[in-house]
Chains A and B, each alone.
Chain A
Amino acid sequence: MSMLTITIDGKTTSVPAGSTILDAAKKLDIDIPTLCYLNLEELKVNNNVASCRICVVEVEGRRNLAPACATPVSDNMVIKSNTLRVLNARKTVLELLLSDHPKDCLVCAKSGECELQDLAEKFGIRESPYDGGEMSHYRKDISASIIRDMDKCIMCRRCETMCNEVQTCGVLSGVNRGFTAVVAPAFEMNLADTVCTNCGQCVAVCPTGALVEHDHSWAVVDALADPDKVVIVQTAPAVRAALGEDLGIAPGTSVTGKMAAALRRLGFAHVFDTDFAADLTIMEEGSEFLDRLTRHLNGDQTAKLPILTSCCPGWVKFFEHQFPDMLDVPSTAKSPQQMFGAIAKTYYADLLGIPRDKLVVVSVMPCLAKKYECARPEFAVDGNPDVDIVISTRELARLIKRMNIDFKSLPDEAFDAPLGESTGAAPIFGVTGGVIEAALRTAYELATGETLNKVEFEDVRGMEGVKRAVVKVGPHELVIGVAHGLGNARKLLNRVRAGETFHAIEVMACPGGCIGGGGQPYHHGDVELLKLRTQVLYDEDAGKPLRKSHQNPYIIELYEKFLGKPLSEKSHHLLHTHYFKRQRL
């Protein structure tokens, strides 16, 4: 690759052809402010539409200023990024943005995390000379998972890139012209009426408060304060890998014990773990897979392969909209969150001797789609949902801060029994490839009757968008597919449609899996955070004495005392679901 020489602010370096001025500046440790730009290289997410104009620089020989994020380097280019002309231009751009932005930072969900607010602070914008004019106004759109407040949209188009290019859902795109231009669904429909999967990746990248989670943290407080309710909580695997980031603990630190302690101090009656339900999911889904595989190999045409995982509610809604002809392919197993809810409001409510409507099940999830999932009507009994309230990792961090809990100094505490115990197969549900790895551990032993000594399946791990692995299980060579990010899922499903053989496929809607979920602490473009979170979960797996779901003693007890066996009638009733054809518009 040819190298090009570039000088920025008097410092010279060489960069490969195709690099931008911003790339070169990074190499030279020159900080050029950006706002619309977002580049998550490993995940192949690149938003360099050059719309905000904050990163403009002087290019020698060019009449006007150039956006550093989108201007390719040419040989012997000379750049000035720190002149008064540049400073003045950036200030004007910020003043214009602020002139059309509600200055309600006091009550904005994004305050403290807002990239526009950070820039206004950095540039010391104290007055807004273009104010007094009209503001663009849009109707607020509130879905089960996401709140769109387009008055705060700065047209950076990051959400559009995520929704269209990465997730291939095509819900969000630019509409209207000029001052009233905004990012919206077609015909400015409500998100809830579109093919939106609620994955929340738009929220994860929005630099301002235009797209935020539908916050339910005060609903949790209300439930906890209600003397007539018994409030229990479950926490998804990926939460413990990232919660610390929002609470002053170094990224890459597992906070499982402190989180359990904090939840207890928040007042939850029992602190449980979705990991328990993850092990249960493996029992059901793994058994379903073996059953289908056996029947398929025996020539049963009704046994469709590959089996697709169904843990991820974003993915479930995606295939309901996009692949309605393939609804018989995914596993019928409910997600761990919903399995937990179903068991809690039957088995566990019986143990406590209380009716189901006295029990409030709260979930802490790295995910925004879980908020939608818990509200799906099929997951309720007589209007009482199996899971009552879902809050995201971010919302839990806020609750902990709000309650003046000194998170850092909390002791490590354990989850409560019986729904708090899990094997090493459960935490890895939070990373791409983890569910299928967990399923393989159990399926291998159930199918062969032999002990699996090396439990790590390295081929299904890693950040590659679509992975294919061949795994030997007894006499069978199973072809496994793994995709994370819905665009990658679409590619993989199209390969299945085209006739390529797969026996089992895992899909997670969010890039990286749940550790990159739409409800996680904001990564602000730092992909390293996702890698650190991934490592936390693999370490947690490696540190567990038991690493196969079917070895979980409480799962064994649950089957003995309540469910019977995997795929039993009771299991089917409580732990399995069905899917719906949904419109593509």
Chain B
Amino acid sequence: MAATTIEKKQLRIATRNCGFIDPESIDDYIALRGYEGLAKVLTMTPAEVVDLVKRSGLRGRGGGGFPTGVKWGIALSNQADQKYMVCNADEGDPGAFMDRAVLEGDPHSVVEAMAIGGYAIGATLGAVYIRAEYPLAIKRLKKAIADARAYGLLGKNIFGSGFDFDIEIKYGAGAFVCGEETALIRSMEGQRGEPVSKPPFPAQSGYWKKPTIVNNVETFANVPAIILKGADWFSSIGTATSKGTKVFALAGKIQNVGLIEVPMGITLREVIFDIGGGCPDGKEFKAVQTGGPSGGALAHKDLDVAIDYESLIARKSMMGSGGMVVMDEDDCMVSVAKFFLDFTMDETCGKCTPCRIGSKRLYEILDKITKGRGARDDLKRLTSLCNNIKDTALCGLGQTMPNPILSTMDTFGHEYDAHVDHKKCPAHVCTAMLTYTIDPAKCTGCTLCTKVCPVECISGTKKLPHVIDATKCIKCGACYDKCKFDSIIKQ
């Protein structure tokens, strides 16, 4: 069967085994060269392993994009009686599920990678911090760990090398902020999930104050492939600064919803149109939010940008963990920003002032604007508050929280202006500013609209044009949806 465009543009490294093997069979994994990477590193020195990962150019897939090899190198150089290798499986971006897919589809790739990392930094203990809402991933991970132990691939004296490594599972209660590594560590220690000031970084002082590496699931899933195929192979894929592939979760107004894995450097146009199939119902593409609630909205002008860590940051967004929410012409960008602020406002831990109170105030200003009560001054306050929160918040969650606002103000400033100056929502989403009227030229007087109107504000004689009483209309849109003659005008 010939590969479709959807398949051709993709390159699967992190998800290489997903869907091809029985995730509950360690033999399946081994048959596809599983645990060979671990066997190989045990013949190398830890410094050589770190160097290999450094040369591969692998960067953290959880959001920040910190070079994985460099991180490992810091932990390796820090002497301690105990070090820890932690897998961050606290995936929480709205609409993103790449880590769940890897853990459900290929748990051994993470188990093997953690052991490789453990050997590289000198850790004998690993932990997976996974949200309890992922029961299937947990079940398969548990089985993978148990099977690996039974095969002697975890535990004491792995492959007779003298290297000991084992993994335990720690459950998260679903707090978004626990994806931040210092908050994750505190949560693992049984404390309230709150970030702490960095430095010191976890690689210096982390879990139980010991050098700790926290890597994301997808980052780990790349590691065995890199060990087997080499640094040069991996670094040949991607852009100058961002190597390898990235898994994205396509969601929102897009034909082909779901997970994709593409090489770094692919353009947004290829992702959204060639793979994603564009927006459904012939609607026009408007924007795509990358980086989840911490990222920003990219527009038409950005479609031909080669996706990598730097190019996204240059456009006030970020890679994030790989969420891609597509918006079409019917989406109001002020409302989109408000949606993401609503999320972060709920998820901020409340520790630092800018994030705890600032998120609420940002949301309130956006709410005011979408309700048609915004003023010029509000836009000024919004920008000023956004910039100050970025500058003063304690952790990544707070520092990136203003991104959806700043990026939409940047690219879709005219929508903010229309809301504030003309009290109009160009996408006709903000109901407070909508008016529904009936075009007498089109109305046939079929009376369907009068039957669906919940407040009975439409009147008229049968077979003659009807009228909406704007003072009673609650702007529910029922008439608009029902009219067969496009005679209802939404403005």
Contacts and interface: CB of A to CB of B under 8 A. Distances in A.
A97 B388 CA distance: 14
A129 interface: yes
A273 interface: no
Nearest to A100: B357
Contact of B350 (A53, A173, A178): A178
Most chain B CB within a 10 A radius of its CB, from A85, A92, A93: A92
A177 B392 contact: no
Contacts of A70: 197
Interface in B343-378: 345-354, 356-361, 364
A12 to B, nearest CB: 22
Interface string B375-396: 0000001001100101111100
A50 B392 contact: no
Most chain B CB within a 10 A radius of its CB, from A64, A85, A180: A64
Nearest to B394: A50
A176 B350 contact: yes
Interface in A89-113: 89, 92-93, 96-97, 99-100
A173 B191 CA distance: 10
A134 B364 contact: yes
Interface in A106-165: 129-130, 132-134, 154-155
Given A70-B197, A99-B361, A155 B350 contact: yes
Interface string B395-423: 00001000000000000000000000000
B391 A65 contact: yes
Nearest to A97: B353
Contact of B354 (A85, A88, A93): A93
B170 to A, nearest CB: 19
Most chain A CB within a 10 A radius of its CB, from B350, B364, B390: B350
Contact of A155 (B351, B361, B393): B351
Most chain B CB within a 10 A radius of its CB, from A72, A132, A154, A178: A178
A67 interface: yes
Nearest to B388: A92
Contacts of B199: 71-72
B86 interface: no
A174 interface: yes
A179 B385 contact: no
A297 B399 CA distance: 67
Contact of B192 (A65, A72, A154, A174): A174
B282 interface: no
A64 B360 CA distance: 21
A96 B357 contact: yes
Contacts of A179: 345, 348, 350, 356-357, 359-360
Contacts of A181: 349-351, 356
A51 interface: yes
Contact of B348 (A52, A85, A178, A182): A178
Q: Which secondary structure characterizes the binding site on chain B? A: helix
B361 A174 contact: no
B381 A93 contact: no
A20 to B, nearest CB: 10
A50 B348 contact: no
Interface in B266-321: none
Contacts of B384: 92
Contacts of B200: 72
Contacts of A93: 353-354, 388, 392
B350 A92 contact: no
A134 B360 contact: yes
A22 interface: no
B247 interface: no
Interface string A45-58: 00001111100100
Contact of B353 (A133, A155, A177): A155
A50 B350 contact: no
A50 B353 CA distance: 10
B175 interface: yes
B358 A96 contact: yes
Contacts of A97: 353, 357
Nearest to A182: B350
B489 to A, nearest CB: 34
Interface residues of B, number: 35
A100 B353 CA distance: 10
A132 B196 CA distance: 31
B90 interface: no
Nearest to A88: B388
Interface in A173-216: 173-174, 176-182
B381 to A, nearest CB: 6
Interface residues of A, number: 37
A557 B197 CA distance: 63
B261 interface: no
Contacts of A92: 354, 384-385, 388, 392
B99 interface: no
Contacts of B391: 56, 64-65, 85, 89
Nearest to A178: B348
Interface in A16-54: 49-53
Contacts of A85: 391
A133 B364 contact: yes
Nearest to B358: A96
Contacts of A176: 350
Contacts of A177: 175, 177, 346-350
B218 interface: no
Contacts of A173: 192
A120 to B, nearest CB: 14
A70 B196 CA distance: 9
B350 A96 contact: no
A451 to B, nearest CB: 54
A70 to B, nearest CB: 4
B369 to A, nearest CB: 14
B352 A53 contact: yes
Contacts of B352: 50-53
B194 interface: yes
A178 B385 contact: no
Contacts of A154: 353
A67 B353 CA distance: 12
Interface in B180-222: 192, 194, 196-197, 199-200
Contacts of B349: 174, 177-178, 181
Most chain A CB within a 10 A radius of its CB, from B359, B360, B390: B360
A67 B175 contact: no
Contacts of A130: 357, 361, 381, 385
Contact of B394 (A51, A134, A178): A51
Interface string B23-54: 00000000000000000000000000000000
Given A51-B353, A88-B388, A155-B356, A178 B345 contact: yes
Nearest to B385: A92
A49 B353 CA distance: 12
A211 B283 CA distance: 57
Contacts of B353: 51-53, 93, 96-97, 154-155
A97 B353 CA distance: 7
A96 B361 CA distance: 8
Interface in B226-244: none
Contacts of B351: 49, 51, 155, 174, 181
Contact of A178 (B197, B346, B392, B399): B346
Most chain A CB within a 10 A radius of its CB, from B196, B357, B394: B357
A116 to B, nearest CB: 11
Closest 9 CB pairs of A and B: A181-B350, A92-B388, A70-B197, A96-B357, A50-B197, A133-B364, A130-B361, A178-B348, A179-B360
22 contacts: A49-B351, A50-B196, A52-B352, A64-B399, A70-B197, A71-B199, A89-B392, A92-B385, A93-B353, A96-B354, A99-B357, A129-B381, A130-B385, A155-B350, A155-B351, A173-B192, A174-B349, A174-B350, A177-B347, A177-B349, A177-B350, A178-B346
Given A50-B352, A181-B351, 7 more contacts: A52-B353, A53-B392, A71-B199, A130-B361, A177-B177, A177-B350, A178-B350
